[in-house]
């Protein structure tokens, strides 16, 4: 069976989707709020900020970019960008001086995963806001 080819859709203008995506990055759920999807915006806000706060309460470590071998670079820079993808919660926590070194213990390790997971969930929310703004999804 041959796979059906969909016609390639043109990229929508920046002014259509950029405000929703940038707002969604800074304020989790903010892009959906701009697009009048209030319930989804609220759910995303509480899920992402809640995950981030649980990560902080578990004293999870935030990644810092490091040099070294290839695996160290990928893990640390990927974790750093994932932490930063949480938007304002990340910046507020760092501006207020939150700093937890990487310590042994399963609770701290889960906290680190929660911090990264919050950022990655926000990336999915930004992609969803883009698709809604571009008219590809309701």
Q: Are 39 and 52 in contact (CB under 8 A)?
A: no
Q: Are 63 and 119 in contact (CB under 8 A)?
A: no
Mean pLDDT of the chain: 91
61: nearest Cα among 32, 104, 21: 104
Residue 98 has pLDDT above 90, yes or no: no
* Tens-digit pLDDT profile for residues 68-97: 899 999 999 999 999 999 999 999 999 999
Q: What is the pTM of this model?
A: 0.87
**What is the DSSP code (8-state) at residue 105?**
S
Q: What is the mean pLDDT of residues 41-46?
A: 97
Q: What is the mean pLDDT of residues 8-19?
A: 85
Neighbours of 86 (CB within 10 A): 29
Domain boundaries, given as residue ranges, for the chain: 14-133
């Amino acid at each position: 069976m041959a796979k059906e080819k969909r016609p390639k859709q043109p990229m929508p203008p920046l002014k259509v989707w950029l405000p929703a995506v940038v707002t969604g990055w800074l304020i989790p759920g903010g892009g959906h709020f701009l697009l009048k999807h209030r319930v989804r915006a609220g759910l995303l806000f509480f899920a992402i900020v809640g995950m981030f706060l649980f990560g902080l309460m578990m004293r999870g470590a935030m990644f810092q970019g490091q040099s070294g071998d290839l695996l160290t670079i990928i893990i640390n820079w990927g974790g750093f960008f994932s932490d930063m993808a949480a938007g304002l919660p990340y910046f507020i926590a760092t501006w207020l001086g939150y700093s937890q070194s990487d310590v042994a213990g399963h609770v701290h390790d889960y906290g680190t995963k929660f911090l990264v997971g919050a950022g990655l969930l926000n990336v999915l929310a930004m992609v969803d806001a883009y698709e809604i703004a571009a008219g590809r999804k309701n």
